[in-house]
Amino acid sequence: AAQRGDRVIATARNVKMIEEMAEPFGGRMITLPLDVTDAAAAKAAVAKAVETFGGFDVLVNNAGYALFGAIEEGTPEEYRPMFEVNVFGLIETTRAALPVLRRSGGTIVNMSSGAGIEGRGGGGYY
């Protein structure tokens, strides 16, 4: 998107991992720290996007990971964090962005994986 001239706000839990990606685009792309499991952080990222660019038109929910293993062997400490990121993180980020997207007539893109279509052994949690 930044290559074609769009303004982009890229987020990650560890923003240092993505800062280099923004350098070639100057002010058209900024990076912000965001842990999607933190509703206040999602609101802060949205506020910074509005402050920097005046708003935005697209939210891409792309955070997620998979936990593989036998369901009966997993513990809540292992599987709950995956749901916090994959489900509740998406909800909180979307909730934070919706007022801006409603004003702009924007779009939400929710990324997923092929595992939703074709399951694998050991993928019951995912």
Q: What are phi and psi of 24, to 5 degrees?
A: -65, -15
Report the amino acid identity of residue 86. N
For the question of residue 125 being annotated catalytic, the response is yes
**Residue tagged active-site, from 65, 79, 125, 126:** 125
Give the start-end residues of each E strand in 1-126.
8-12, 29-33, 58-61, 107-110
* Token pair for 73: 């062997």
Rounded Cα gap, residues 19 and 36, in angstroms: 18
- Catalytic positions, written as ranges: 125
